[in-house]
Amino acid sequence: MDYYKKQLKKNIAPPPRDISAGDKKDKLLVDIHSKNSFKAKKYSVSFHNIPTESNLVIDFNIESSFRSAGIFLGKERNNNSMLCKIYRIKGKHSYSEYIMEIAPKVDSILMVALGIMFMDKYEDFKSSNRKVRYNYH
């Protein structure tokens, strides 16, 4: 019964993720929260832009089949600028390969970190959807 409660919690409200500078948690760099959506996996990513000394919020939307993801400055539905697009393609020997298109003058380290999160979410999705096969003799 505990397994089902854990799975339910994992699917309904995943915990927020934080990225901090160094070993201490006192200097928060990036704060990631999931948003409720039935169509896709959606996240709100807030961070402090050091060069402009401003706080920014970007939308990170992952397609439900994990084929692609988009990262937008602000809300996607407001036709804001796309900062990064990530594609998953089938590679050799059934491994997944990823292509990232990053807009000019965008912090590529943050985009790659979010890309790793996308790959991690796909691996979780893939492993949870594997079918258990029973052999009866």
pLDDT at 133: 56
CB-side neighbour CA atoms (13 Å) of 123? 10
108-133 per-position pLDDT tens digit: 888 888 888 888 877 777 777 765 55
Rounded to an integer, the average pLDDT of 58-63 is 88
Read off the pTM: 0.69
Confidence category of residue 6, pLDDT binned at 50, 70, 90:
very low
Sorted by sequence, the CB contacts under 8 Å of residue 76 that are 6+ apart come out as 59, 61, 70
In the β-sheet with 96-102, what is the strand arrangement from edge to edge? 17-20, 28-35, 40-49, 54-63, 68-73, 82-90, 96-102
Confidence category of residue 27, pLDDT binned at 50, 70, 90:
low
Say which residue the tokens 């796309």 belong to: 82
Instruction: Return the CA Rg of the chain.
Output: 17
Rounded to an integer, the average pLDDT of 36-44 is 79
Q: What is the DSSP letter of 35?
A: E
Per-domain residue ranges for the chain? Answer: 2-125
Query: Which residue type sits at 17?
Result: R
Helix (H, G, I), strand (E, B) or coil at 61: strand
CA–CA separation, 67 and 11 (whole Å): 19
